[in-house]
Chain A
């Protein structure tokens, strides 16, 4: 199935709503091992995104994603701004000039976004970062799509993989960013970046599915 710009706009709008709703939850996770502003920053960022998207919402998917990236880069600050900003800028660039986005194009775009995050943050798997949710999700998405699974099913599986990756950050010791200064004290806490990344992928899955699930936000 082809992905339309309306569906991508729907994803971003849905995620903006989830971030607003989960602002305190994300900030609480960050307060435990960071500087306690992740939810506040992401909410400010996605409010800006929705304002910036309004005049371009009928444009191509690449433009929607790049506009989202620029809005985040200019409004979030700290490390979250460049990381999420890069994710959307790279994903958008991968879809430059495409009137229609195929399943394979969407996978390629998300892979480009992940690659951008890894390059920007220089984080490896198991460093207790957003990569721990994004990387397994992207891998599972690629696997499902390559095997010919319907996109809906592939995205749901990817969101499940992100959720597993997010929960798997709990026992990890942070090796990147401000949480790394805590050393062993970062163990036992779920990473806020992995959490917001999981929510983003669940929102993508839900917004492209005919019968959306509810995003799960509970810690295990």
Chain B
């Protein structure tokens, strides 16, 4: 029986673990030639019309396995370039340095970095390299995961769902022609006003490892999961969706805290292996909870936008909105994964 289970675990649509990232990048390039171009060695996804003269360039990156983040967000009104690392492994500075050079239209470049030790160090080195070449580079770090306590985990809170919202909002601002300082300030505001928490029903399999990252029983769930199968806050018996949604949402609300009268963007994200119908079940409960607290969800996003390979589960992100962030959330966007008003 154990052997049968192992066979099932390795059931993936890949050619080889070693070629997975490049094969997928080539697929993206073939599918979206109107939006992006892909360079290899170092691997970078670049907006088709970059660099745009006078526009602040927006660069992000991270391990692969979180698709559509980040390559799927390259295009009009969002990122100018994305650097995909190996699955769940930070990209290297030569990738970010190349991306920075490729999108620098003379107005400077903002790096959007999720708070993981390797990502931070590699982006810092890339920024030093790019500055050495004369580029103006700022960085913003996302760290919105309330499941990680700063005091317990010295590496600090992880960057998760807010990263997607930040890339959209700040991308809209950069597209409108704002300067580097304005774009950077907005990015910091978005991160400061957003919080997230996730949960998992199943684990995921890193192809190179070939086995599940953690074991979880059929009747259990892991609360406070990250996006790489890191430990969560708590392992508990599986509960009804409404109850799960309330745990996630109330924890997020209390952390910022979000208050009565706040307007928010409510983002229910799938971890990769959860169908949309279940995400809407969750959204319904999130919406009810917020309404009960006097918090108004004036904008929403529901779908799998920051994933953890085939992990089943979801995360809830709330972002407190104001006129500026609402305007740039609504602004036109045209990328492989997000498109509206254009």
Which A residues are closer than 8 A to B by beta carbons?
A: 73-79, 81-83, 85-86, 120-121, 175-178, 180-181, 183
Contacts and interface: CB of A to CB of B under 8 A. Distances in A.
B89 A120 contact: no
A77 to B, nearest CB: 5
B118 interface: yes
B118 A74 contact: no
B335 interface: no
Contacts of B167: none
Given A73-B125, A78-B118, A181 B93 contact: no
Given A74-B42, A77-B86, A77-B89, A82 B155 contact: no
B332 to A, nearest CB: 35
A46 B90 CA distance: 19
Contact of B155 (A73, A76, A86, A177): A177
Contact of A81 (B122, B153, B154, B230): B122
Given A77-B118, A181-B230, A181-B231, A85 B125 contact: yes
Nearest to B86: A77
B121 interface: yes
B152 interface: yes
Contacts of A79: 117-118, 121
A175 B90 CA distance: 20
A175 B122 contact: no
Contacts of A76: 92
A85 B85 CA distance: 17
B92 A73 contact: yes
A180 B121 contact: no
* Most chain B beta carbons < 10 A, residue from A74, A176, A183: A74
A82 B42 contact: no
B118 A73 contact: no
A59 B231 CA distance: 48
Contact of A180 (B90, B122, B124, B155): B155
11 contacts: A73-B92, A74-B93, A78-B89, A79-B117, A82-B124, A82-B125, A83-B121, A120-B124, A176-B155, A180-B154, A181-B231
Given A81-B122, A120-B121, A121-B121, A75 B92 contact: yes
Nearest to B123: A82
* Most chain B beta carbons < 10 A, residue from A76, A82, A120, A178: A82
Given A77-B92, A176-B155, 13 more contacts: A73-B93, A74-B92, A75-B92, A77-B86, A78-B89, A79-B117, A81-B118, A120-B121, A120-B124, A120-B125, A176-B154, A178-B117, A178-B155
